[in-house]
Amino acid sequence: MAEKPPVKTSKPKRALLSHAVQAQQPTPNTSRPTETGEVTAQKQRSGRIGTKMLGGHFSEPAQRQFKVLAAEQGKTVQVLLEEALNDLFKKYHKEPIA
């Protein structure tokens, strides 16, 4: 009796590529010294606690212009995005809560 070829149970190509890229990247060092000099694992940046990611996809020129604007204003992209969101909220008569 002839052997059956093995059944392929492959993941989608995107999943394989993602796994391969992650395997090649070094594990980030998330530990930092405390005031007493001990090293503890930092699970999440303190500035991100209680927040949610909000994003979108824009053209490269728009992204570049936004980063240049942030640099010209001496602000971070995060601060400039907060300002833009609050301006948008005000435009639509909502409380500026960003």
Q: Where are the domains of the chain?
A: 70-98
SS3 40: strand
What Cα–Cα distance (Å) separates residue 47 from each residue in 17, 21, 78? 31, 28, 11
Mean per-residue pLDDT over the chain, rounded: 78
Residue 48 confidence class, pLDDT cut points 50, 70, 90: confident
- Integer Cα distance of 17 and 25 in angstroms: 12
pTM of the entire predicted model: 0.53
Question: What is the per-residue pLDDT across 17-40, written as a single tens digit (0 to 9) for each?
Answer: 566 556 565 555 555 555 655 545
Span 11-21, average pLDDT: 58
